[in-house]
Amino acid sequence: MSDSFDADARERELRDEAESWDTGAPVPAEPGDIPVIDVRSFLAAPEGPGRATTTAAAVRSACEEVGFFQLIGHGVDKQLVNDAFAAARSFHDLNDASKEAIAMDRPGATLPGVGYLRIGERLLPRRSVGNLNEAFLIKGEAGVGFEDNAWPDPAAVPGFRQAIEAYAIAISGLAQRLVPLYALALELPSTFFDGAFVDPFWRLRLTRYPGVRTTRPAGAFGIAPHVDTTFFTLLRQDGPGLTIYSTARDAWMTAPVIEEAFVVNTGELLRQWSNDRFLSVRHFADNPSTEPRHSLPFFFNANADHVMHPVPTCVSAANPARYAPVSYRQSQASAQGE
């Protein structure tokens, strides 16, 4: 184990590795390939006898063997989700000038990593070929609130900010309630991660993939193959387009869309924290439809400056720590345009 973590070198390593993956000929996921986990009972009574153990075991198995699962029983109001999708569509239907006014790379932007990303950007993830999507991003962390983000003119999209804030509040609340479940999945006390998530760093992305109407450039994807930098990611989507790599099947699989389910996946942050016990799985996104596809990924991380040490249940004499103590800001933020 190195005494330090070279974030730029790690980001280059991940990018080079991703660009070498053969993503041809995905196969449909079969029943059981991507677990479906119902957390209703756990959220209702996290300390209930047997419930925590059973649900944590399901999460442990999913994170160790697949890296993805479908989350149901989460309690997030369907109308909030519908309103967020409607707001996202309204934003993306704006004219270019209205969106460019809050472009992420515009002169004078004061908060990095938020605002509008145009089609063809080579960011998030960084790639040599532009991503075939456009997106609007907001974020939160200690000292950064909704008011600090770049928002479109409210006269152009009435109710947009209110709908997106309401969704972000609901999803960040769900993410916080899931953190104890991940501690239990790692055979730790449910409170183990509490101090690490006092002011979590999160980013919400409103992504639109244009409909397939023309031949796309060679090597282009809706979002290029990558692994997330997160503790975990919560994704809602209005149509199919997510493809993940299955280690068990040694194949790329197209993931089904389950009504009202969140797709959840482990990211690099939790992989490092668990000393590689939990998978951080390669995946990409496209749009197989002639109509636009929208997705709402919520990228959830610990406090940006919380220093992570590989957790005690994932380290032993036979399996020593593989990562130096490191924070999100030190390890992953540069790859996210921070």
How buried is residue 331: exposed, middle or buried, by Cβ count under 10 Å (0-12/13-18/19+)?
A: buried
Please give the pLDDT value at position 105.
Answer: 85
What string of DSSP letters covers 18-35?
A: HHT----S-EEPPTTSS-
pLDDT band of residue 45 (cuts 50, 70, 90) is confident
Q: Which domains does the chain have, with CATH numbers?
A: 7-20+34-230+254-332 (2.60.120.330)
8 A C-beta contact, residue 284 and residue 302: no
8 A C-beta contact, residue 196 and residue 182: no
pLDDT in tens, 294-336: 999 999 999 999 999 999 999 999 999 999 998 988 876 666 6
How buried is residue 313: exposed, middle or buried, by Cβ count under 10 Å (0-12/13-18/19+)?
A: middle
Is the pLDDT reported for residue 2 higher than 60? Answer: no
Which pair of tokens denotes residue 147?
């008011």
pLDDT in tens, 250-281: 999 999 999 999 999 999 999 999 999 999 99
Half-sphere exposure of 220 (CA within 13 A, CB side): 18
pTM of the shown model: 0.92
pLDDT in tens, 181-232: 999 999 999 999 999 999 999 999 999 999 876 556 666 788 888 999 899 9
